[in-house]
Amino acid sequence: MGHLLKEIEANFSDQDDFFIKEEQVNKTTIYLIGFKTLIDLNKSKLYVKQMAASSPSVKELVTNLSDKTNVDRDQIINSILEGKLVICLKNPQQNAIVDPIAHELRSSIEDPKNESPIQAAMDAFGEDIHINVGMIRKRLNSDRLCHYSYQIGDLEKRKISMLYIKGKASNSLTKNVDKQLNQIKSDIEGIDSLNRHFGKRRFNPVSHFFPTELPTQAVQSLKKNRIILFVDNLPFALTFPHLFWDMLTSANDRNFPFILTFMLRIFRVIGVMATLILPALYVALVSVNPEVFRTDIALFTAESREGIPLSAFLETIVMVVIVDLILEAITRLPKSVGPTVTMVGGIILGQAMVEAKLVSNLLVIVITAVVIASSTVVGMQNSLYIRLLKYPILILASIFGILGLCAGLVFTIIYLASLTSNNLPYITFSLDQKEV
């Protein structure tokens, strides 16, 4: 292998999907160079052999394959990053840039099912890990993009790919993640089993990873000094580390003017606060601190609860649990009937409970606002854990009123501030190299 080929190989030493294949054509050694995630190597090799059969010499084969021949090192590297197949003769100065038979990165790609991009690309990751890596390379064809592969598991060997941008993600972060992945000996069943290997969060609702099925979101995370993990047969990317700011920002926001982006993020902050506060505030003001109300509002609230046998805490807990059950049913039922059945059932059930004097009209309004507010944050996983955190605040508010609500919020902030991933605090708004 010539000096130029060794330089090219060293340049892509951080890319586990990079290949240099030696082939014999007309008794002459040639080298095929490219990325396995972008090039269908078997079909491309067959194409080269078919062209060789109709070419009397290797030099004519190179001429027949491409009009870009005998290019310099920089052009070769750029062509590889663009997904081209590079063919070099034993003398590396004789080479050709060939349009290969590429992997079809869109044939099995569907629209995102869990995320709704607006004015953005509508493709989503699939279950094939090579296609997923290829989708990242198509969007980020830089030689600073590093790719490492792992085989993890005991009974079920699963492929895991780690991607990051050299110079963006810190060396300490990449080394720690590489060490943790190499130490995994058990089978990886899903995100939670992988999550436990990255820190003690078994009973914590906040994951170390932020899953996304949008390639644009994954690329944006790479540019923000993060690491992306792909697990074979899982149709999404796992961003590490997962930070609090992830639930308030989306790569899709960049399609709007700054003022609109700022407005959307303010709405998400309001959504988080409304989800945590509204049920607890209702209980605190109705049952513990009614003196906070003005007289006319207090009379209106008392009238709305007239004839209701349940305490404010019990009726709120019942409604909150029922709404969470409805949201779970929407997720589990078939897509063709789930939303319709649960929406109609929820409307009928809510109306029946109001008419039966089990809950007040005011509480129905509060719970509806909470359902809408909890859906404004980015990511289903974030929405779930925010909905969970409202329960301890609700319990404290039912005992201590407004004081309990404030204490619950303070404890929630302290709890979230105590979470770390590889010594990185969860409540961090930007990930700079000096922080990691």
Provide the pLDDT confidence category of residue 308 given band limits of 50, 70 and 90. confident
Least confident range from 213-217, 330-334, 375-379, 390-394: namely: 330-334
State pLDDT tens for residues 412-424.
Answer: 999 999 888 888 8
Mean pLDDT of 261-269: 92
Please tell me the distance from the alpha carbon of residue 6 to that of residue 13, in angstroms, as a whole number: 10
pLDDT for 227: 94
Query: How much of the chain is helix, strand and coil, in % rounded to 5?
Result: 50, 15, 35
Mean pLDDT of 390-396: 94
Distance of CA 8 to the CA centre of its chain: 32
pLDDT for 30: 83
Whether the predicted pLDDT of 107 surpasses 50: no
pLDDT for 164: 94
Mean pLDDT of 275-293: 89
State pLDDT tens for residues 311-354.
Answer: 889 999 998 998 888 888 777 777 666 667 667 777 777 788 88
Q: Pick the residue with more confidence: 234 or 190?
A: 234
Q: How many CA atoms lie within 13 A of 264 on its CB side?
A: 20
Q: How are strands ordered across the β-sheet holding 227-231? A: 145-152, 158-165, 227-231, 237-240, 210-212
pLDDT for 228: 94
Mean pLDDT over each residue of the chain, to the nearest integer = 84
Least confident range from 178-182, 295-299, 308-312: namely: 295-299
Mean pLDDT of 407-411: 95
Provide the pLDDT confidence category of residue 106 given band limits of 50, 70 and 90. low
CA dihedral (208, 213, 216, 222) in degrees, to 10, reads 30
Whether the predicted pLDDT of 109 surpasses 60: no
Whether the predicted pLDDT of 23 surpasses 90: no
pLDDT for 249: 87
SS3 22: strand
Whole-structure pTM value: 0.81
DSSP one-letter string for 392-431: HHHHHHHHHTHHHHHHHHHHHHHHHHH-EETTEESS-S--
SS3 135: helix
pLDDT for 424: 85
Mean pLDDT of 185-201: 80
State pLDDT tens for residues 149-162.
Answer: 998 887 778 889 99
SS3 436: coil
Q: Report which listed range, 61-65, 107-111, 275-279, 328-332, is most confident.
A: 275-279
Whether the predicted pLDDT of 92 surpasses 80: no
Mean pLDDT of 287-314: 82
State pLDDT tens for residues 344-356.
Answer: 777 777 788 888 8
Tokens for 328? Answer: 């779970």
Domain boundaries, the chain: 1-98, 129-242, 256-421
Please tell me the distance from the alpha carbon of residue 164 to that of residue 14, in angstroms, as a whole number: 10
pLDDT for 375: 87
Q: Report which listed range, 30-39, 82-91, 277-286, is most confident.
A: 277-286
